Structure 1
Amino acid sequence: MTLDILFQDEHLVVVNKPAGLLVHRTHLAKDEEDAVVQRLRDQTGKWVFPVHRLDRGTSGVLVMAFSPQVARLLAAQFSSSKTDKIYHCLVRGFCDEMGVIDYPLAKLNEQKGRSRFKIEGTERDAETHFTRLAQYQFPIPVSRYDSMRLSWLEVKPKQGRKHQIRRHFKHQHNPLVGDSCYGCRHINKVVKEIWPDDFRLMLHASSLQFVHPITHQTMTLKAQLSDKIVNVLSRLAHYQV
């Protein structure tokens, strides 16, 4: 399946990554043939170099470079928080209308075994801003509650720590729907039962702004929500409160 290319020139390419697809093979998934890097290489006929990453379950704007030099220049913008990122996500519970989660995060490393990720090193600053766009009360029991409360959020992480959004909202007791690592098993079980065809991690990288490292033009790329997220939000719209 070809990827949805949002922008391409001789230096870089920007795609709308689908959920469920790795950015590149890792030592834990080295046998998987399918990944963004491989698809783009076949689709563009060029070698591509990762600049940043989105989790396998996350969809949305993803940048790749066509040379190591451009990749390094772009990566420097991400590491110094000079990019503007906007995500959208569906979380458990009713959130405040807006807020900031300022909670340092330690580094995560992938590992084999019972737990996929291991916390290592000292904690680093991590700040996530959010605005509530809608909240829903769905009339179906979840655990000891008689209804399912959810919030649809616009999220702007200042940094790009591994799993920053997912870990931050778990920290404030509003885990993301569909999150198998940090989520609420009761919510996930119910959502998977009532909407099995649309169950996924409800996190989407909607917009990314960066400076083109060669032309120095400010680039703003936006990616449409996936059909699965749109389907879930359409059903929830009847229960907005």
Structure 2
Amino acid sequence: MHEPIDGPSSTPHEAPLRVLHTDEHLVAIDKPPGLLVHPSGLDAHEHRNAWDVLQAQLGLRLWPVHRLDKATSGVLLFARNVDAARQLTAAFEAGLVRKRYLALVRGWPPAEGEIDYALARDPELPSAGQVRLPAVTRYRRLLCHEWPFPDGRHASSRYALIEVEPLSGRRHQIRRHFKHIAHPLVGDSTHGKGAHNRAVAAWLGTPRLWLHASRVELPGSGGQAPIVIEAATGPEWQPLLSPHDAE
């Protein structure tokens, strides 16, 4: 049985959603952690979701074109018409949309790397017997942290802030790939370690999945420049961005 994912995932967000970009084709928001993208049978008791809230907030009909996990924060896109939805969905499926994330992982991974590891189609089911789909994730280590609470046989615990670029779009790809290389995301109750999640939540004072969609770059049409949409991290990330305890 999994522990619940972080506090913000179970706390409703009543403030208006922050719009990052809008034009005749799309709307981009900064999704807070703990908010579903759209209604889901995987979380049937949760009725509040970004799709419904944003449509009511803007008085527009919108179409979801990609997804973020409930506990993940950051850039989330919606199309403003059916044609735009088809085009944006096709761009995501073709790998033409570049995405960057910030994440906190256990341990100190190499300074940079590429994880090329095929993943089972459905992360909610046992992997055995499932079709495995190609999946590639690049990452770059930004800062190392060593905090004064025990990690098994060691008196202190090591964690790293990383920038991640998934080159494919498999479900839970980032979380599953970093579990595969033994550097699980902190706050991930499904693919991470409960003891580490609880220890970091106590140290930082924030129980959440430490994964933030910081940047989306959409291909320009008709020779136009790409559209770049960025979402700054929330204040809870500030201790992770400071190099005072980094190697």
TM-score where L is the length of structure 1: 0.90
Distance 1:205 1:162 in 2: 14
Distance 1:214 1:71 in 2: 18
SS state of the match for residue 108, structure 1?
Answer: coil
Q: Does the aligned pair in 2 maintain the 1:74–1:213 contact within 8 Å? A: no
Distance 1:188 1:214 in 2: 46
Higher strand share: 1
Cα pair distance change 1:215/1:54, threshold 3 Å: farther
Whether 1:65 aligns to 2:79 is yes
Q: Does the aligned pair in 2 maintain the 1:10–1:66 contact within 8 Å? A: yes
Within 5 Å, which residues of 2 pair with 1:44-59?
A: 44-59=58-73
Whether 1:79 aligns to 2:79 is no
SS state of the match for residue 233, structure 1?
Answer: helix
Distance 2:82 2:126 in 1: 29
Query: Residue 118 of structure 1 aligns with which residue?
Result: 125
Whether 1:240 aligns to 2:242 is no
SS state of the match for residue 193, structure 1?
Answer: helix
Q: Percent identity?
A: 39
Query: Residue 32 of structure 2 aligns with which residue?
Result: 18
Within 5 Å, which residues of 2 pair with 1:213-224?
A: 217-224=225-232
SS state of the match for residue 105, structure 2?
Answer: strand
Q: Which amino acid aligns with 2:125?
A: K
Distance 1:19 1:54 in 2: 10
Distance 1:175 1:13 in 2: 32
- Deviation of residue 201 (structure 1)? 0.6
Q: Does the aligned pair in 2 maintain the 1:207–1:221 contact within 8 Å? A: yes
Q: Does the aligned pair in 2 maintain the 1:199–1:228 contact within 8 Å? A: no
Aligned partner of 2:146 among 137, 153, 164:
137
**Unmatched tracts of structure 2, length 5 or more:** 1-14
C-alpha distance after superposition, 1:66-91 (max 9, x if no partner) = 12221111011111111111111110
Q: Which amino acid aligns with 1:159?
A: S
C-alpha distance after superposition, 1:151-191 (max 9, x if no partner) = 11111110111000000000000001111111122211211
C-alpha distance after superposition, 1:206-236 (max 9, x if no partner) = 1100125699652000100022222x415x6
Whether 1:195 aligns to 2:204 is yes
Whether 1:7 aligns to 2:21 is yes
C-alpha distance after superposition, 1:71-117 (max 9, x if no partner) = 111011111111111111110001101100000011116xxxxxxx1
Distance 2:222 2:60 in 1: 18
Distance 1:17 1:162 in 2: 18
**Unmatched tracts of structure 1, length 5 or more:** 110-116
